[in-house]
Amino acid sequence: MSFDYFEEKPKVKKRQPHKRKDEKIITYDLVKPTFESFLLAKQKQNLRPASLNKFVALFKSIENFHETKSEADFYLGHISTEFISDYVYWLKHEYVKFENNSNVPNHAKTVGLADASIATRIRGLKTFIKWCEKEELIQKNPFNSFEGFKQNTPDIDILSRGELNNLLKVAKSYSNKSFKYFRDYVLLHLIIDSMCRVSEILLLSPDDIDHTNRTILIRSENAKSRKSRIIPLSNKTYRLLIQLLKENEAFEEETDNLIFLSLSGRMLSKSNLLRDLKKWAKEAGIKKRFYLHLIRHSVATEFLRSSGDIESLRKILGHADYRTIQIYVHLADSTVQEKHASHGFFGNENITTRKRSNKRF
């Protein structure tokens, strides 16, 4: 008999490694409640409804994409680098605009979003993922390995000075027919003179006019940049505004405290204004695609072409930095053509005038 110790239980090899892994094991949250918390955080940052609605559209979009690929619940862990790449491809080549909207005609239900719209979705998703990373809801940002989305720079077809003058002539010819046409003529004159956004002009109050200096004030709460700015007016634009204010006195009941009023005395609709100006543009012989912001683009380009003053243009337009107005610098850059005409290989400065006999040898 040997005096070995008796074993209480049989020996079993270790199945659990001794060292712990560095990364934490995290159970990812569902995307929907996480996105709701994200939206609440953005509301607390005082984002405007338009900006919040872009995030809502983003969530519906990525949720829709996930549902086309899987029936499983949508967790944060599903948003990988591969998910982002596939999502971008889906937006470009498979997504059908207004697919479930019965109010939109079938011919408008086209496949694929524009590059600029896709870039907007990517920026929004980056913001959401970065917030999740900050809140320690994810371990690694999937955008760190995302190769990006290259988009073509859109071409902006601006109106010439002649086309703008023709548009003004047509508008003026209608201005004596009714209050509505006169109001729209004054508004068009103000857009061209001030280069303001239409949304900013529609929110102008009579109190925003400085009669001493003949300027208008774009209030911070109405400006896209959230910074107030003062815009000088030409004498003619100022006189037209004063005349419109006098005609507004003909409203019998209480109206909104605005300069540009609908026939019911309320804020003017941007869509109704666009519809009327499109008719004038067609009558003025403008064959380019017409939209309200095109006027701002065109006048800003003409201002820069004639003055070359980028800083003044930036202040008038209400842009925060110079990067935003680079598009106008590009459109107004006539100096390249002038330099080429003078200093190119066949330019005026490099042409040598020589006299020779006309006879050939």
Q: How confident is the model at residue 105 (pLDDT cuts 50, 70, 90)?
A: confident
| pLDDT tens-digit readout, 258-269 | 999 999 999 998
| pLDDT tens-digit readout, 166-180 | 999 999 999 999 999
Residue 31 and residue 79 in contact, taking contact as beta carbons nearer than 8 Å: yes
Q: Which residues pair with 216 in a beta bridge?
A: 209, 231
Q: Which residues pair with 210 in a beta bridge?
A: 215
**103 lies in the same domain as 194:** no
Q: Residue 267: helix, strand or coil by DSSP?
A: strand
Q: How confident is the model at residue 27 (pLDDT cuts 50, 70, 90)?
A: very low
Q: What's the rounded Cα separation, in Å, for the pair 56 and 49?
A: 10
pLDDT of residue 14: 60
Residue 256 and residue 206 in contact, taking contact as beta carbons nearer than 8 Å: no
pLDDT of residue 24: 45
**140 lies in the same domain as 198:** no
Q: What's the rounded Cα separation, in Å, for the pair 16 and 13?
A: 9
pLDDT of residue 252: 85
**111 lies in the same domain as 254:** no
**277 lies in the same domain as 183:** yes
Give the whole-number percent of the chain exceeding pLDDT 90.
49
Residue 129 lies in a domain: yes
Give the Cα-Cα-Cα angle 115, 117, 123 (nearest 5 degrees): 100
Contacts for 64 with CB less than 8 Å, ≥ 6 apart: none
Q: How confident is the model at residue 164 (pLDDT cuts 50, 70, 90)?
A: very high
**98 lies in the same domain as 184:** no
Give mean pLDDT, residues 226-249.
92
Q: Which residues pair with 217 in a beta bridge?
A: 230
Q: What's the rounded Cα separation, in Å, for the pair 299 and 313?
A: 10
Residue 215 tokens read as 């300027």
Residue 306 tokens read as 């004639």
Residue 225 and residue 320 in contact, taking contact as beta carbons nearer than 8 Å: yes
Give mean pLDDT, residues 101-119.
85
Residue 194 lies in a domain: yes
Q: Residue 230: helix, strand or coil by DSSP?
A: strand
Give mean pLDDT, residues 56-80.
94
Give mean pLDDT, residues 109-127.
91
Domain that holds residue 323: 161-338
**98 lies in the same domain as 219:** no
For the chain, the average pLDDT equals 83
**204 lies in the same domain as 111:** no
Read off the CATH number of the domain in which 73 is found.
1.10.150
pLDDT of residue 350: 57
**Nearest 5°: phi and psi at 55?**
-70, -35
DSSP state of 135: T
Q: Is the pLDDT of residue 285 over 90?
A: yes
Q: How confident is the model at residue 319 (pLDDT cuts 50, 70, 90)?
A: low
Q: Residue 2: helix, strand or coil by DSSP?
A: coil
**191 lies in the same domain as 321:** yes
Residue 90 and residue 68 in contact, taking contact as beta carbons nearer than 8 Å: yes
Q: Name which residue leads in pLDDT, 109 or 199.
A: 199
In the chain, the number of structural domains is: 2
| pLDDT tens-digit readout, 33-42 | 999 999 999 9
Read off the CATH number of the domain in which 270 is found.
1.10.443.10
Q: Name which residue leads in pLDDT, 192 or 331.
A: 192
Q: How confident is the model at residue 295 (pLDDT cuts 50, 70, 90)?
A: confident
Residue 358 lies in a domain: no
